[in-house]
Structure 1
């Protein structure tokens, strides 16, 4: 299962993490977010140790969402060494997501 992060712990959990971190920016009212959420959870479980996966509710954490210009969700951002290394906007099937994340889970 993915871990929830907030504005308060985003820096510590994501920007200061040792390895790459996939952040799932989502909101409870977002249908595509609910579709991609179990896929993100599966990727988190299957690639634990290679890729840290966290979720940030954009309704509850507007500061971080605004900081990264999140206007369309679901938005999946890979952070590596505190920088945005990859962005994936919109829901994707699992094989497509794994292909996009191959550099981080391979």
Structure 2
């Protein structure tokens, strides 16, 4: 069970390492959700637009940490990014991530 959780969300060490490399935090919630509260400096790319935004994300050349409300959409986004050869990590809930790392 623990290995499944690590595969979906990554380990804290991986997230800290990605942040030390200048990772970009991508919030995949809707624009309305994002506007209600978000991590300062994060980029809002709703999950339903992530595929069309791949060229923009790849151009940044940084690791990506995806966040959402609960971790489900961010896990899906991470999978899409990984399949596109982007170094990506699932940060889970934006609020939990903010409280732990920002």
> Given the two structures, how large is their TM-score scaled by the length of structure 1?
0.35
User: More helix by proportion, 1 or 2?
Assistant: 2
Bigger strand share = 1
For normalisation by structure 2, the TM-score amounts to 0.36
Bigger relative contact order (CA 8 A; separation at least 6): 1
